[in-house]
Amino acid sequence: MILNADLHVHSKYSGATSKRMNLREMCECARKKGVQLLGTGDCFQEHWLEDIKALEESRGMFSYNGLNLVLTDEVEDTNRVHHLLLFPSIESAEEMRSELEPYSNTIRIDGRPRLALTGEKIAEMAEKHSVLIGPCHAFTPWTAMYAYFASISDCYKGMSDYVSFLELGLSADTDYADRIDELQRLTFLTNSDAHSPNPNRIAREFNRIEMMDLSFSSLADAIMRRNGCRIALNVGIPPQEGKYNESACIRCLKHYSLEEAISVKWRCSCGGLIKKGVADRVKELATYKEPEHPAHRPPYLHLIPLSEIIAKVLPEKEAFEEWNRLVEAFGNEINVLIDVRMDKIRAVARSEVADAIRSFRDGEIRIIPGGGGAYGRIEILRNKKGQKSIMDF
């Protein structure tokens, strides 16, 4: 079986997260996006875990209104590195939470708890409870493995071999990560890290997974690439659109090359701090000038959320109505962006929206990279009577 999966989101119990991130709204948006498997996020949080316990469960998977869920959480270690945890059962989550409680006074109340433990110690506990672990958004300049360490072994020490995956994050893709030799053995995950149930957040990045059946063991097999299971496709926004793709000032957002930033000691002319971009961090870490994709690496597909495409050509209220209309007509957003023939889309969509979708499919885009905490801008080049016009996002 083949599933689209977004394995990293947050509930309403995490900081800076929408109160609408409840089971009903997040699952409804995921279904409309075309995702069949969603990480619960925040499963150490006691109220959220009680909500999940009320759902129907089978072989480590939970069901809500036709959508499948798997227990996940994101934790922060003593070095400020974030780790994604995938749990095989309620029991494993509760047992690991109990073992972690002496190292965190917020683990039962904060959806994204801080732990007074290193990555190595967290991985030791994960292995003890058969929990999968890997670094979240590994390249970003905040709360990420490569922000504070130069290698997996520096972060996880003696538990490095237990780490089975790495989450790329919004500002990186396979071409970036596969320039680093130590990552060749790992499976890459592309997840949204969504903090709201809006259609431009949930499943803005996702994984297409080949599994033998709907179970945690089969999901683990896919991540470990065994028993005929695997990640068949990574899907995400173009990395240049990410908030930290290029090095830039976090105050005035002026962009700098790596050499320029070093020469001014990472302090902008406005006095603000220059945050190192993912592209420059990869350049520092790279083993290869060009990406060296191992045989097991799946293709990477760049997608722009349909809601962002529509919002350029229609007012906000009309854009949301058009998004819903297209999703209802063709089943989900992924179908609209990738699978449905353009003549069928033109029969349903408004003409300006159909033109924008066609331009995206034909690769008529240009990206002005993000940096310093500001998303990049995507320009879609659209043919009209033989001329190209530019729509700025």
- The CATH number that applies at residue 19 is 3.20.20.140
182, 315: one domain: no
The mean of the pLDDT values for the chain is 95
209, 98: one domain: yes
105, 10: one domain: yes
Question: pLDDT grade, residue 42 (50/70/90)?
Answer: very high
User: CB neighbours of 120 closer than 8 A, spacing ≥ 6?
Assistant: 155, 156, 157, 158, 159
Of 223, 240, 257, which one is at a domain's C-terminal end?
A: 240
Contact 13, 45 (CB under 8 A): yes
Per-residue pLDDT averaged across 203-228, rounded? Answer: 98
Residue 262, in any domain of the structure = no
Residue 263, in any domain of the structure = no
Per-residue pLDDT averaged across 336-344, rounded? Answer: 95
Does pLDDT of 392 surpass 80?
A: no
Position 379 scores a pLDDT of 85
pTM of the model: 0.95
Q: Which residues pair with 302 in a beta bridge?
A: 236
Of 240, 273, 290, which one is at a domain's C-terminal end?
A: 240
CA angle 52, 192, 30 (to 5 degrees): 55
Residue with tokens 């948006």: 29
Question: pLDDT grade, residue 382 (50/70/90)?
Answer: low
169, 316: one domain: no
SS (H, E, C) 155-191: HHHHHHHHCCEEECCCCCCHHHHCCCHHHCCCEEECC
> For residues 390 and 364, which has the higher predicted lDDT (pLDDT)?
364
> How much of the chain exceeds pLDDT 90, in percent?
93
147, 14: one domain: yes
Residue 269, in any domain of the structure = no
Q: Which amino acid, one-letter code, is at 41?
A: G
235, 313: one domain: no
Domain range spanning residue 373? 304-392
Over residues 160-191, the pLDDT tens digits come to 999 999 999 999 999 999 999 999 999 999 99
Question: pLDDT grade, residue 391 (50/70/90)?
Answer: very low
Q: In total, how many domains does the chain have?
A: 2
Distances (CA, A) of 342 to 155, 192, 329, 335, 356: 47, 27, 13, 11, 11
351, 230: one domain: no
135, 43: one domain: yes
The full DSSP string for 78-127 is TTS-EEEEE-S-HHHHHHHHHHHGGG-SSTTT-SS-B-SS-HHHHHHHHH
Residue with tokens 């300006």: 352
Over residues 269-324, the pLDDT tens digits come to 999 999 999 999 999 999 999 999 999 999 999 999 999 999 989 998 999 999 99
Position 383 scores a pLDDT of 53
Helix (H) or strand (E) holding 332: none
326, 196: one domain: no
Of 217, 240, 263, which one is at a domain's C-terminal end?
A: 240
Position 378 scores a pLDDT of 87
> How much of the chain exceeds pLDDT 70, in percent?
97
Question: pLDDT grade, residue 393 (50/70/90)?
Answer: very low
| Nearest by Cα to 97 from 122, 119, 118 | 122
Position 129 scores a pLDDT of 98
